[in-house]
Amino acid sequence: MDFGFSPEQEKFRQEIHEFLENDADAKGAKEEWAAGNGYGPHTWVIMKKLGARGWLTPAWPKEYGGLGLPAMYRALAMEEMDYFTGRGSRGVLCGIGMTGTVLLGHGSEEQKREYLLRISRGEIDFALGYTEPEAGSDLANLSIKAEDKGDYFLVNGQKMFNTACHYAQYHWLGARTQVVEPKYKGISLFIVDLKTPGITIIPIQALGFKTNQIFYDNVKVPKNCLVGELNRGFYYIMEALDHERTYTTSRLNGELEKLIQYAKTSGKSKDPIIRQKLAQLSTEMEIAKLFALRIPWMLDRGMRPTPEAAILKVFYAELQQRVINTAQQILSPYGQLKKDSKWAQLDGEFELEYTASLEGIITRGTCEVMRNIIALRKLGLPAR
Amino acid sequence: MDFSFNEEQEMLRKSARQFLEDECPKKFVRDMEEDEKGYSPELWKRMAELGWMGLLLPEEYGGLGGNFLDLTALLEEMGRALLPGPFLPTTVYSSLPILHYGTEEQKREFLPKIAEGKLIMTLAITEPSGRFDEAGIETKAIRSNNDYLITGTKLLVPDAHIADWFLCAAKEGEGITLFLIDAKTPGINCTLLKTLAADKQCEVILDNAKVPARNILGKSGAGWEIASKIEQWGAIAQCALISGCLQQVLEMTVDYTKERMQFGKLIGSFQAIQHQCADMAIDVDAVKFITYEAAWKLSQKLPATIEVSRAKAWTSDASRRVCLTGHRIHGGLGLTEDHDMQLYFRRAKAMELAFGDGDFHREIVAKELGL
Task: Kindly report, residue by residue over A35-79, the tens digit of the pLDDT.
Answer: 777 888 999 999 999 999 999 999 999 999 999 999 999 999 999
Nearest residue in chain A measured CA to CA from B286: A287
> What is the band of A210 on the pLDDT scale with cuts at 50, 70, 90?
confident
Task: Provide the percentage of residues in chain A whose pLDDT is more than 70.
Answer: 98
Nearest alpha-carbon partner for A23 in A45, A1, A54, A55: A45
Q: Is the residue at A1 inside a domain?
A: no
Nearest residue in chain B measured CA to CA from A294: B3
On chain B, the residues whose CB falls within 8 A of the CB of A5 are 1
Q: Is the residue at A103 inside a domain?
A: no
On chain A, the residues whose CB falls within 8 A of the CB of B369 are 260, 278-279, 282
Chain A nearest-CA distance from B33, in A, is 32
For range A154-158, the mean pLDDT: 98
What top-level class would CATH report for the domain B225-368?
mainly alpha
Range(s) of the domain holding residue A47: 7-91
The predicted structure's pLDDT at residue A126: 95
Give domain B7-119's CATH number out of 3.30.1370.60, 1.10.150.20, 1.20.1250.20, 1.10.540.10. Answer: 1.10.540.10
Q: What is the mean pLDDT of chain A?
A: 93
* Bridge partner residues of A176 (DSSP): A145, A187
Residues 6+ positions from B86 with CB-CB distance below 8 Å? B39, B120, B121, B122, B158, B159, B162, B163
The predicted structure's pLDDT at residue A279: 98
pLDDT digits (tens, 9 = 90+) for B197-219: 999 999 999 999 999 999 999 99
The predicted structure's pLDDT at residue B145: 94
How far does chain A reach from its first CA to its final CA, in angstroms?
38
On chain A, the residues whose CB falls within 8 A of the CB of B5 are 1
Task: Provide the percentage of residues in chain B whose pLDDT is more than 90.
Answer: 99
Secondary element (H or E) of residue A278: helix A272-300
Cβ A372–B271 below 8 Å, yes or no? yes
Q: Residues A256, A371: one domain? A: yes
Least CB-CB distance to B359: which of A276, A284, A296? A276
> What is the band of A91 on the pLDDT scale with cuts at 50, 70, 90?
low
The alpha-helical segments, DSSP class H, found in B40-155 are 41-49, 68-81, 87-90, 96-101, 104-116
Nearest residue in chain A measured CA to CA from B309: A283
Q: Residues A152, A186: one domain? A: yes
For range B92-106, the mean pLDDT: 98
ipTM: 0.96
Residues B243 and B318: their CA atoms lie apart, in Å, by 9
Q: What is the mean pLDDT of chain B?
A: 97
Give domain B122-222's CATH number out of 1.10.3470.10, 2.40.110.10, 1.10.1200.10, 1.10.540.10. Answer: 2.40.110.10
Domain boundary among A178, A212, A233: A233
Is the pLDDT at B40 greater than 90, yes or no? yes
Residues 6+ positions from A332 with CB-CB distance below 8 Å? none
Chain A nearest-CA distance from B146, in A, is 45
Nearest residue in chain A measured CA to CA from B254: A379
Handedness of CA A112, A113, A117, A123 (dihedral sign): negative
Cβ A279–B293 below 8 Å, yes or no? no
- Chain B (242-301) residues lying within 8 Å, Cβ to Cβ, of chain A: 254, 257-258, 265-266, 268-269, 271, 273-275, 277-279, 281-282, 285-286, 289-290, 292-293, 295-297
Query: Which of A287, A315, A322, A369 to mutate: most B Cβ within 10 Å?
Result: A287
Least CB-CB distance to A282: which of B258, B289, B365? B365
Least CB-CB distance to A287: which of B289, B295, B364? B289
The predicted structure's pLDDT at residue A207: 86
Q: Residues A280, A374: one domain? A: yes
Give the pairing type, strands A126-129 and A187-193: unpaired
The predicted structure's pLDDT at residue A247: 79
On chain A, the residues whose CB falls within 8 A of the CB of B297 are 3
On chain A, the residues whose CB falls within 8 A of the CB of B273 are 381
Nearest alpha-carbon partner for B158 in B230, B245, B265: B230
What is the DSSP-derived secondary structure letter of residue A365?
Answer: S
On chain B, the residues whose CB falls within 8 A of the CB of A4 are 1
Q: Is the residue at A2 inside a domain?
A: no
Q: Domain holding A25: CATH number?
A: 1.10.540.10
Task: Provide the percentage of residues in chain B whose pLDDT is more than 70.
Answer: 100
For range B89-93, the mean pLDDT: 98
Is the pLDDT at A246 greater than 80, yes or no? no
**Range from A74-78, A87-91, B284-288, B367-371 carrying the lowest mean pLDDT:** A87-91
Residues A268 and A256: their CA atoms lie apart, in Å, by 15
What is the DSSP-derived secondary structure letter of residue A145?
Answer: E
Nearest residue in chain B measured CA to CA from A384: B269
Q: Residues A252, A355: one domain? A: yes
The predicted structure's pLDDT at residue A33: 81
Residues 6+ positions from A10 with CB-CB distance below 8 Å? none
Residues A42 and A96: their CA atoms lie apart, in Å, by 19
Is the pLDDT at B179 greater than 80, yes or no? yes
Residue-range domain boundaries for chain B: 7-119, 122-222, 225-368
On chain B, the residues whose CB falls within 8 A of the CB of A383 are 269
On chain B, the residues whose CB falls within 8 A of the CB of A79 are none
Tell me if chain A has a CB within 8 Å of the CB of B219. no
Cβ B2–A290 below 8 Å, yes or no? no
Total number of domains constituting chain A: 3
Residues B134 and B341: their CA atoms lie apart, in Å, by 36
Least CB-CB distance to A278: which of B292, B364, B366? B366
Q: Domain holding A147: CATH number?
A: 2.40.110.10
Secondary element (H or E) of residue A220: strand A209-222
pLDDT digits (tens, 9 = 90+) for A353-371: 999 899 899 988 899 999 9
The predicted structure's pLDDT at residue B197: 95
Cβ A280–B269 below 8 Å, yes or no? no
> What is the band of A243 on the pLDDT scale with cuts at 50, 70, 90?
confident
The alpha-helical segments, DSSP class H, found in A148-269 are 233-244, 250-266
pLDDT digits (tens, 9 = 90+) for B285-323: 999 999 999 999 999 999 999 999 999 999 999 999 999
Q: Is the residue at A384 inside a domain?
A: no
Cβ B274–A371 below 8 Å, yes or no? yes
The predicted structure's pLDDT at residue B99: 98
- Chain B (62-121) residues lying within 8 Å, Cβ to Cβ, of chain A: 69
Q: Which of the two residues, B55 and A243, has the higher pLDDT score?
A: B55
Residues A359 and A342: their CA atoms lie apart, in Å, by 27
Nearest alpha-carbon partner for B89 in B103, B80, B78, B104: B78
Cβ B296–A3 below 8 Å, yes or no? yes
Cβ B2–A297 below 8 Å, yes or no? yes
